[in-house]
Structures are given as C-alpha cells and as structure tokens.
Amino acid sequence: MTSPDDASPAVPPADKPRPGDTYVQSFARGLSVIRSFSAKAPQQTLSEVAQRTGLTRAGARRILLTLEGLGYVESQGRQFRLTPKILDLGFAYLSSLPLWNLAEPVMEALVEQVKESSSAAVLEGADIVYVLRVPTHKIMSINLGIGSRLPAYCTSMGRTLLAGLPPDELDQRIDAMTLSARTPHTETDPQRLKGLIAQVRRQGWSLVSQELEEGLVSMSAPIRDRSGRSIAALNISGQVNRTPPAHMLEAFLPKLLEAADTISRLLQMKT
C-alpha cells in the first residue's frame, strides 16, 4: 500500500480569488503544480498537470519550465516528474522542528526495546502527516516514510491527535470527513467514532487494530507542548499475527507512554 487513496485527487484550483493584496496567485499556482504529483501520478504530461490543477496548458507549461529551470522538475519526452531536490522544501520544515532532533534518539531506543516500528505524525486537516519514522527490518505490507499521509479517523495517531482538539472543532472535522470502510473492521459511524475518540481522551492513548489495513495494529500516545496541547503523536506499529492487540497493550503501552513523556519533556525544555 503506497497511498491512502485509490486515485490521485484533483488539486484545488489556485485561481479562486482571495481577498486582500497579500495573496500571490502565481506562487499558489506553482504550489498546485507541485502538489499534483503523487505516488499515483509520479509522472505526468503537460495536459495531465493542467487538468489536475485547473490551469491552462500555457500556464501549466510556464510553471513546469520554471520548476525545471530551478531543478525541482525534470522532463523526459512528454513526461514531467519531480526531482529529489523537492525534498529540500519538506526538510526545511522538518529541520525547523525541535521535535526532529529530540525525538529520533528516543524513538530509536523504543524500537530497540519493542522490536517494532515507531513513527511520529502531526495532524493536518483530515489526515495525519508522518514527520519521523524509525522502522524495523521486518517486512511490512504498508510502505510509509516522512511526508506520508493517512486518514486520521482510522489510525491510532489520528485518533490521538483528534482527541486533543476542542469538542466543537472535533465535531466539525469529523462531520467534514468521508468515513469510508477501508477494511471490514473500520469504524465509519460518526457518533461511534466520536465515542472512541472521547475514550482516547480519557485514557491518554489509542489502539487501532486492522481499521486502516487488514493485519496492521498500532498504538499511539500524544506528544505535548508546554501548555499541554497535543502537537504530535508517537506510535508503535506491527502485524497482528506477531503482535496481537492484547500483547501490544500489555507489553508495549508502558514503554510507549514513557517515550512520549520523555519527548514531551525534552520539547518543553527546548521551547
């Protein structure tokens, strides 16, 4: 599994008028072109980029050639694709996070203890975005890395982060989500989902088994800033056949909570 989506969604048009004089439309159009590339559409023709972004062919062509001149895009025949230089934009954000340097050694120690993968993610809209990942060498059916996005409603880190939202904002976010059944185990009823998230808020951790993908189980806890706000989530993930939920809860929960608390304290000292 390389993406939570079955198809590459269209990128929201950058031509929608915005109030005020501070909105730079050409810059927004450039970002929409970059965002049109994905795991489902790693290479695109000019026409495909124009279609996905809502730009004219001429406008899409100018932006693609500009990005190519800057080294962020390369072309081969009629196909365009992003270059590794595009990672500089993401790593500029990651390197600015105190979380980046503080969490990694703690997560490495956690992975060494539990022999399962550990990741950290932040909430963005209806999704979680991976900002750190320490994998094991075990074969996983799901391929994730920094920058990967997954739906918040059916992941342990997503529910942990949703549990940190004010009630009104939580209701708004869930009401705006498309709660599709990714497996037979996925919770898709909004009210029951809100109940599960309320339970996460009370207990301080989340465990989700086979709701994102059959065979996968994950448990997470919040990383908090000085004010107590959940700014990220830390997880342990594995395969149900080797790490059943009951075993994960009994054997790994104390270690997970300790790691999340350690990262939180380090972050609070740093900031």
Q: Where are the domains of the chain?
A: 1-85, 97-270
96-154: pLDDT as tens digits:
666 667 899 999 999 999 999 999 999 988 999 998 999 886 555 566 777 888 999 99
143-183: pLDDT as tens digits:
677 788 899 999 999 999 999 999 999 999 999 999 999 99
pLDDT reported for residue 8? 43
Fold match, 1-85 / 97-270? no
Calculate the average pLDDT of the chain. Answer: 88
DSSP string for residues in the chain? ---S-SSPPPPPPS-S--SSS---HHHHHHHHHHHT--SS-SEE-HHHHHHHHT--HHHHHHHHHHHHHHTSEEEETTEEEE-GGGHHHHHHHHHH-HHHHHHHHHHHHHHHHHSSEEEEEEEETTEEEEEEEE--SS--SS---TT-EEESTTSHHHHHHHTTS-HHHHHHHHHHS----SSTT----HHHHHHHHHHHHHHT-EEEESSSSTTEEEEEEEEE-TTS-EEEEEEEEEETTTS-HHHHHHHHHHHHHHHHHHHHHHHHHH-
97-270 in CATH: which number? 3.30.450.40
pLDDT reported for residue 199? 98
| Residue 139 burial (C-beta neighbours within 10 Å; 0-12, 13-18, 19+) | exposed
Determine the average pLDDT of the residues in 187-203.
97
Stronger pLDDT, 4 or 252, i.e. the higher one = 252
40-58: pLDDT as tens digits:
899 999 999 999 999 999 9
pLDDT reported for residue 254? 97
pLDDT reported for residue 1? 38
1-85 in CATH: which number? 1.10.10.10
